[in-house]
Amino acid sequence: MEERLSAVLSPYEGRKDALIPILQKVQDELGYLPDDAMLEIAKTTGLPESRVYAVASFYAQFRFTPRGKHTIMVCRGTACHVRGAERILEETERSLGIVEGETTEDQKYTLETVACIGCCALAPCVMIDEDVEAKLTPQMVPEILSGRNE
């Protein structure tokens, strides 16, 4: 991890203003923001660790725990909400045996919700990794999950 981290951080020595892009790049590389990485970011930028944490914890994009192999994001946009997103979320939680924000024990799935993925015309929808599953009903949930069950 150290090598990957220093490769990402090397162009940012002393760049306090670039904290958010740095956090994004580190998370892209490592999948999340482990404690060690937060320390390294603080050292590289010259910012106090508390400030790095304060910024990282403010924004929804950043996470401090590793994700499962697949990330399932249930959209809770207004259009999805009025078309039954709540029930899609419940069915997904039941199917996976975890609740929003958790990762399955086998590290296969992480379940999250997202404010809106902007596919409102296809509501309700769920994003699995990069793919959007559109116009869902609760019954379709096990099917779209099993598609990834390799």
Partner 1 sequence: MMNFTEIQEQARQEWDSLQSGSVPVIAVGTATCGRSAGALGVVQAFEEEMSEKGVEAHIVEVGCIGPCYAEPLVNITKPGRATVAYKNVTKKMVTEIVDNYLKGDDPLPHYTLGSFGEGTVENIPRILDTPSFKPQERRVFRNCGVIDPTNINHYIANEGYNGLSKALTMTQSEVVEEMKKSGLRGRGGGGFPAGRKWEAGLNAEGDQKYVVCNADEGDPGAFMDRAVIEGDPHSVLEGMIIAGYAIGADTGYIYVRAEYPLAIRRLERAIEQAHEKGFLGNNILGTDFSFDINIFPGAGAFVCGESTALTLSIEGKRGMPRVAPRPRTTEQGLYDKPTLLNNVKTFSSAPMIITRGAEWFASIGTEKSTGTAIFALTGKVNNCGLIEVPMGITLREIIYDIGGGVADGGRFKAVQTGGPSGGCLPESLLDTPIDYDSLDEAGSIMGSGGMVVMDEKTCMVDVARYFLDFTEIESCGQCVPCRLGTKQLLDILKDICAGKGKKGDIDLLIELSQSVHGGSVCGLGQTAANPVLTTIRYFRDEFEAHINDKCCPAKVCKPLISFRILEDKCAGCTLCAKSCPVNAISGEKKEVHVIDQGLCVQCGVCMEKCPKKFSAVECLSPKLPVAPKETTEVVA
Residues found near partner 1 in the complex (CB under 8 A)? 16-21, 23-24, 54-55, 58-62, 76-79, 81-83, 87, 90-91, 94, 114-123, 125, 132, 134, 137-139
CB of 36 to partner 1, least distance (A): 21
Cβ nearer to partner 1, comparing 29 with 90 = 90
* Residue 36, token pair as written in the block: 């060690």
CB of 19 to partner 1, least distance (A): 4
Cβ nearer to partner 1, comparing 70 with 120 = 120
The helix (H) or strand (E) run that includes residue 131 is strand 131-133
Backbone phi, then psi, for 68, in 5-degree steps? -70, 180
CB of 88 to partner 1, least distance (A): 11
Cβ nearer to partner 1, comparing 97 with 107 = 97
CB of 123 to partner 1, least distance (A): 7
Cβ nearer to partner 1, comparing 20 with 144 = 20
Distance in angstroms (rounded) separating the CA atoms of residues 126 and 100: 13
Instruction: Note the helical H segments in 48-102.
Output: 49-58, 78-82, 85-96
User: Treating both helix axes as pointing N-terminal to C-terminal, what angle do 49-58 and 35-45 enclose, rounded to 10 degrees?
Assistant: 120
Nearest C-alpha neighbor of 31 from the set 143, 100, 125, 129: 129
